[in-house]
Amino acid sequence: MKQRDIFIVSQDGLNPEVNQIAVEAISELMACFPSYKNDYPITNLGAWKDDGYIYPKNGQFYLVPYKSTRWHIENAKRDAVNDGRPNQLNASTLFQTMQEDPTNQEIPQFTILLTKDDLYPNRQMNYCLGMGDEGIGCIVSARRFSDANGNLIDRENFKTVLMHEFGHVIGLTYEGRENSADIYGTHCTDEDGLCIMQQRSNGDFSDITQARLGAKAYGIPPICNDCIKAGNQFFAKERQQANVNKIVQETLKNLGIRR
């Protein structure tokens, strides 16, 4: 039974190839959870726009709040300009509007937002490759993995970062987990050094990517057993909650109560 959709959306102007590679990356990670992966279908929505995403006023067109990826991006650009960073996007602003988006309440989903512009999380940090929040979604920029024409030239590092951030979304390194440490948030301390949920203090994922590719050649998954266990626990809770909600709805229906 479907629990949530995984929607991949992107900034206008992002090379469509990036979205396809993102589908591959998320599929590779979800393959680590064979009992649950079919409950979370992956859909590439591209530069998503809903019906009526713009409206005319005084001879100009304006974006309707929450009706397009572009609206989310424009909000993040505005705050970045105010912070003196016109060439970046404020990732914290993107997360805030993603969390407040009514669509997230209407359609159970995890949202993956891909950007062509560089990201920064706050005024104290120069940039970030991406951010992920448990149960909500993640944001990843392709900027530092692409050439000047927007062509993705560092695909495998991009895929590692995307899988890493989505790993946070599905609770792989929840706070207080064994074999974890606080390095810019809770991350895995896999002793074999093969898990993509590790974090380097310098933000470089190149050695983690090489370890992932080496392990993949031998059929070893991109995450360690502790992360697989955490993911299975996360999905099991979601399925259990869905079953409870279904029973409640059926009970209310039988009693003639609409909710």
In the DSSP assignment, the letter for residue 128 is B
Higher pLDDT, 253 or 202: 202
Higher pLDDT, 59 or 8: 8
Phi/psi at 88 (5° precision): -125, 175
- Nearest-angstrom CA–CA distance, 66 and 51: 11
- Nearest-angstrom CA–CA distance, 206 and 213: 11
Closest CA to 3 of 199, 238, 214, 194: 238
Residue linked to tokens 């279908």? 41
Question: What average pLDDT does the segment 203-213 reach?
Answer: 91
The residues spanned by each domain of the chain are 5-254
Contact (CB, 8 A) for 51 and 70 = no
Please, where are the H alpha helices in 151-223? 155-169, 206-216
Instruction: Tell which CATH classification among 3.40.140.10, 3.40.390.10, 1.10.730.10, 3.40.1160.10 matches the domain 5-254.
Output: 3.40.390.10
Q: What would the two tokens of residue 63 be? A: 């974006």
- Greatest alpha-carbon pair distance for the chain in Å reads 62
In the DSSP assignment, the letter for residue 193 is S
Closest CA to 180 of 190, 168, 171, 170: 190
Higher pLDDT, 246 or 117: 117
Question: What average pLDDT does the segment 35-50 reach?
Answer: 96
Q: What would the two tokens of residue 223 be? A: 């995450």
- Nearest-angstrom CA–CA distance, 190 and 208: 11
CA 69: distance to chain centroid? 14
Written as one letter, the residue type at 131 is: M
Note the pTM of the prediction, 2 decimals. 0.92
How confident is the model over 184-207, as pLDDT tens digits?
A: 889 999 988 889 999 987 778 999
**Percent of the chain clearing pLDDT 70 (strictly above):** 94
User: Is 89 buried (19+), middle (13-18) or exposed (0-12) by CB count in 10 A?
Assistant: buried
- Nearest-angstrom CA–CA distance, 165 and 140: 8
Give every CB contact of residue 259 below 8 A, 6+ residues apart in sequence.
Answer: 249, 252
